[in-house]
Amino acid sequence: MSDAEDRKIITLARSARARNGVPQGAAVRDETGRTYVAATVELPSLRLSALRTAVAMAVASGATSLEAAALVADTDTAEVPAEDLAAVRDLGGPGTPVLLAGPEGDLRATIAAS
At a CB cut-off of 8 Å and minimum separation 6, what does 84 contact? 49, 51, 52, 71
Q: How far apart are CA 72 and CA 103, in angstroms?
A: 6
Radius of gyration of the chain (CA): 12
Residue 21 — pLDDT band, cuts 50, 70, 90?
very high
Give the pLDDT band of residue 98 (cuts 50, 70, 90): very high
Whole-number Å distance between alpha carbons of 75 and 79: 6
Using one digit for the tens of pLDDT, what is the confidence trace for 46-90?
999 999 999 999 999 999 999 999 999 986 655 789 999 999 999
* Per-residue confidence (pLDDT) for residue 76, from 0 to 100: 62
Residue 32 has pLDDT above 90, yes or no: yes
> What pTM value is reported for the model?
0.92
- What does the alpha-carbon distance between residue 64 and residue 101 come to, in Å, rounded to a whole number? 25
Q: For residue 51, what pLDDT is reported?
A: 96
- Cα 38 versus chain centre, distance: 8
